[in-house]
Amino acid sequence: MSAKKSLRGSVAVVGVGLAGCGEAPGWSETEIMAAAASNALADAGLTTRDVDGLVTASANIVMSGLAIAEQLGIRPRFTESTSVGGSSFVGHLLPAAMALEHGLADVVLVTYGSNQRTGVGRGDAGRYKAALDPQPFEHPYKPFNPPSSYALAAARHMHQYGTTREHLAEVAVAARKWAQLNPEAFMREPLAMDDVLRSRMVSDPLTVRDCCLVTDGGGAYVLVRAERAADFPKPPAYLLGAAAAHWHRQISSMPDLTVTAASESGPRAFEMAGLLPQDVDVLELYDAFTINTILFLEDLGFCRKGEGGAFVSAGRIAPGGALPVNTNGGGLSCVHPGMYGIFLVIEAVRQLRGEAGARQVKNPKVALTHGNGGVLSSQITALFGTKETL
Amino acid sequence: MSELDQGGPERQFRVRLAQGRFEIQRCEGCVRHVFYPRVVCPYCGGERLRWVAASGAGTVYSTTVVRRRAADGGDYNVALIDLAEGPRMMSRVVGLAPEAVRIGMKVCALITGEGEAALVEFTPR
Phi, psi of A164 (to 5 degrees): -120, 165
Give the integer Cα–Cα distance in Å for A315 and A31. Answer: 39
Distance from CA of A114 to the nearest CA of B (A): 27
The rounded distance, in Å, linking the Cα atoms of A290 and A201 is: 14
Neighbour tally for B115: CB within 10 Å: 9
Q: Once rounded to an integer, what is the mean pLDDT over residues A368-379?
A: 98
What is the value of pTM for the model shown? Answer: 0.97
| Helix (H), strand (E) at residue A15 | strand A11-22
Question: A270 vs A47, A208, A276, A380, A390, CA distance in Å?
Answer: 34, 34, 6, 12, 14
> CA A192 to CA A170: how far, in whole Å?
9
Q: Are strands B76-83 and B33-34 parallel, antiparallel or unpaired?
A: unpaired
Phi, psi (deg, nearest 5) at residue A142: 55, 50
Evaluate if residue B37 carries a pLDDT over 60.
yes
A139 chain-B contacts, CB cut-off 8 A: none
> A202-255, pLDDT tens digit by residue?
999 999 999 999 999 999 999 999 999 999 999 999 999 999 999 999 999 999
Q: What is the mean pLDDT of chain A?
A: 96
Q: Are A148 and B78 an interchain contact pair (Cβ–Cβ within 8 Å)? A: yes
pLDDT over 50 at A119, yes or no? yes
Question: Which neighbouring-strand residues pair with A223?
Answer: A13, A108
Chain A nearest-CA residue for B117: A140
Whether A159 sits inside 8 A of B119 (CB atoms) is: no
**Which residues, 6 or more positions from A98, have their beta carbon under 8 angstroms from its beta carbon?**
A7, A104
Using a CB-CB cut-off of 8 Å, the residues of chain B touching A151 are 64
Q: Which of B61, B67, B78 sits opposite A143 (nearest CB)?
A: B78
Helices A64-72 and A29-43 pack at an angle, to 10 degrees, of: 60
Residue A177 predicted with pLDDT over 80: yes
Reported confidence tier of residue A359, pLDDT bands at 50, 70, 90: very high
Report how far residue A31's alpha carbon sits from residue B70's, in angstroms, rounded to the nearest whole number. 40
Q: Which helix (H) or strand (E) holds A79?
A: strand A78-80
Kindly determine whether residue A143 and residue B103, on different chains, have CB atoms separated by under 8 Å: no
With cut-offs at 50, 70 and 90, classify the pLDDT of residue A1: very low
Spatial CA neighbour of B105 closest among B63, B55, B53, B77: B63
Contacts of B22 in chain A (CB under 8 A): none
Identify the H or E element spanning A348.
Answer: helix A341-353
Classify strands A216-225 and A107-114 as parallel, antiparallel or unpaired: antiparallel
Least confident segment among A6-10, A29-33, A160-164, B64-68: A6-10
Q: Rounded CA gap, A321 and B124, in Å? A: 45
Give me the amino acid identity at A233.
P
Backbone phi and psi for residue A125, each to the nearest 5 degrees, phi listed first = -60, -40
Instruction: Give me the pLDDT at residue A127, please.
Output: 83
Residue B44's identity, in one-letter code, is C
Average pLDDT over residues B35-51: 97
Please report which helix (H) or strand (E) contains residue B18, including its range: helix B9-18
A250 touches B at CB < 8 Å: yes
Burial of B1 (0-12, 13-18, 19+ CB in 10 A): exposed
d(CA A253, CA A153): 12
Instruction: Give the pLDDT confidence score for residue A5 in this predicted structure.
Output: 52
pLDDT band at B2 (very low <50, low <70, confident <90, very high): confident
DSSP A24: -
**Is 90 exceeded by the pLDDT of residue A3?**
no
Q: What is the pLDDT of residue A126?
A: 79
Q: What is the identity of the amino acid at A73?
A: G
The amino acid present at B81, given as its one-letter code, is I
In chain A, % helix, strand, coil (3-state, to 5) comes to: 40, 20, 40
Task: Tell me the backbone φ, ψ of residue B116, rounded to 5 degrees.
Answer: -65, -25
Average pLDDT over residues A360-382: 98
Q: What are phi and psi of A290, to 5 degrees?
A: -60, -35
Prediction ipTM score: 0.97
3-state secondary structure of A78: strand
Average pLDDT over residues A92-102: 97
Query: Looking at the DSSP assignment, which residues form a beta bridge with residue A211?
Result: A289
How far is Cα A202 from Cα A214, in angstroms, rounded to an integer? 14
Average pLDDT (A290-318) is 98
Instruction: Check A201 against B65: CB less than 8 A apart.
Output: yes
Assess whether pLDDT exceeds 90 at residue A123.
Answer: no
Task: Determine the Cα–Cα distance for residues B99 and A140; give it in Å rounded to an integer.
Answer: 20
Is residue A252 within 8 angstroms of chain B, CB to CB? yes
Q: What whole-number percentage of chain A has pLDDT above 90?
A: 94
The 3-class secondary structure across A81-97, one letter per residue, is CCCECECHHHHCHHHHH
| Closest chain A residue by Cα to residue B92 | A141
Question: Does A143 contact B65 at a Cβ distance shorter than 8 Å?
Answer: no
| pLDDT exceeds cutoff 90 at B34 | yes
Neighbours of A97 (CB within 10 A): 23
Interface contact B63-A144, CB threshold 8 A: no
Cross-strand pairs, B78: B64
DSSP E strands, B1-125: 23-27, 33-34, 49-53, 57-66, 76-83, 88-91, 106-112, 119-124
How many CB pairs below 8 A link A and B? Answer: 70
Q: Is the pLDDT of residue A4 over 70?
A: no
Lowest mean pLDDT among A23-27, A132-136, A181-185, B35-39: A132-136
Distance to chain B for A47, nearest Cα, Å: 47
Which of the four pLDDT bands, split at 50, 70 and 90, describes residue B124? very high
Q: How far is B2 from chain A (nearest CA, A)?
A: 23
pLDDT band at B66 (very low <50, low <70, confident <90, very high): very high
SS3 (DSSP) at A207: strand
Q: What is the pLDDT of residues A125-163, one digit of tens each?
A: 778 888 888 999 999 999 999 999 999 999 999 999 999
Whether the per-residue pLDDT at A66 is higher than 60: the answer is yes
Q: Report percent pLDDT > 70 for chain A.
A: 98
pLDDT (0 to 100) of residue B1: 65
pLDDT at residue A379 in the model: 98
Of A90, A36, A50, the closest CA to residue A348 belongs to A90
